[in-house]
Amino acid sequence: MNNLDTNINFIKKTPKVELHLHIEGSLEPELMFKLSKRNKIEIPFKTVDEIRSAYNFTNLDSFLKIYYEGSNVLITEEDFFDLTWEYILRCKQDNIVHTEIFFDPQSHLPRGVSFDTVIKGIHKALKKAEKDFGITSKIIMCFLRHLDEEPCFDVLKQACNHKDKIIGVGLDSSEKGNPPVKFKRLFEQAMKEGFITVAHAGEEGPPEYIWDSLDILKVKRIDHGVQCLNDEKLVNKLVHAQIPLTVCPLSNIKLCVFDKLENHNLKKMLDRGLRVMVNSDDPAYFGGYLNKNLIETSKALNLNLEDIKKLIENSFKSSFLENEKKEKWLEKIN
């Protein structure tokens, strides 16, 4: 077997963790079509192929427009169950044993879909995943950063009724022009309520947004963070504190953060000692689930087996899994 086959084999057979996955971004065109019929919701596409060919993005905002449109077909608890269950089947296929998923209540509430409907559908599928496949999970609720801070407090209040299901809060949507400091009071309140905090930062936005996510929002992980290499002092801090950066290579290519995978900075980040790992972000829109992200990235950046091991080890270490389970998996993969 040559090195490439060895690497692909290793990626496929090793138990893995995913830490950056928007459940609404796992809505495949086939299910979008099915739900649009089931719920009698119009979508601006006639065929599945037409949906797929609309997925040509130039930046984050051009993607978000289509992503929020797609989410419009999600109405009932059953829809959120089906959506989540389809992602779980992909997890099983890719040998993901633990996943931490984001959801965006604010893209559903204004359409008259209740918080309880969303969280119950997602949670039911995740419980079944644990029972049927032993796949464990955590749920993180994201706030849409293009919206004002004030209405987010009501969303946080609703999340407080589901502390048994939601472990933390995050920040997603349009990054540029929506700095972390905009949500300072909200994140303070969330922490008071016992939620862990994370935030998308340094995807398209500047290194300052990573600094402020750490200093002001007190995040435990940075989602994306690929712009950190433009700030040497920041890199030193991230390395020293081993702050996890949940990198999403295929997403970065689709949204033109890098022009091609060969020019992605993941290998540089690894070599600097940053705690990075690979994730799929919005796999239905960006062309691949976790294994495909790992395999394509390994090929494009000539990653060796040690690099791949490190990425997978980092993902377990960076998860919000209970320490005992974390140790058990780390032992197993080594």
Interface residues with ligand HPA (CB under 6 A) are: 22, 25, 60, 67, 172-173, 200, 203, 251, 281-282
Q: Binding to Zn ion by residue 281, rule CB under 5 A?
A: yes
**Partner from Zn ion, ligand HPA, none binding residue 77, C-beta < 5-8 Å depending on class:** none
**Partner from ligand HPA, Zn ion, none binding residue 307, C-beta < 5-8 Å depending on class:** none
Q: Which is nearer to ligand HPA, 60 or 214 (CB)?
A: 60
Q: Is 203 a catalytic residue?
A: yes
**Partner from ligand HPA, Zn ion, none binding residue 168, C-beta < 5-8 Å depending on class:** none
Least distance in angstroms from the C-beta of 287 to ligand HPA:
14
Q: Which is nearer to ligand HPA, 68 or 133 (CB)?
A: 68
Q: Which is nearer to ligand HPA, 94 or 281 (CB)?
A: 281
Q: Which is nearer to ligand HPA, 7 or 71 (CB)?
A: 71
Task: Catalytic residue, from 175, 203, 204, 313: name it.
Answer: 203
Residue closest to ligand HPA when measured from CB atoms? 172
**Partner from Zn ion, ligand HPA, none binding residue 25, C-beta < 5-8 Å depending on class:** ligand HPA
**Partner from ligand HPA, Zn ion, none binding residue 266, C-beta < 5-8 Å depending on class:** none
Least distance in angstroms from the C-beta of 147 to ligand HPA:
12
When computed from its CA atoms, the radius of gyration of the chain, rounded to whole angstroms, is 19
Determine the Cα–Cα distance for residues 70 and 64; give it in Å rounded to an integer: 10
Stretch of residues binding Zn ion (CB under 5 A), selected from 5-13, 145-153, 189-197, 276-284: 276-284
Of 183, 12, 178, 197, the closest CA to residue 95 belongs to 12
Tell me which residues touch Zn ion (CB under 5 A): 281
Active site residues: 203
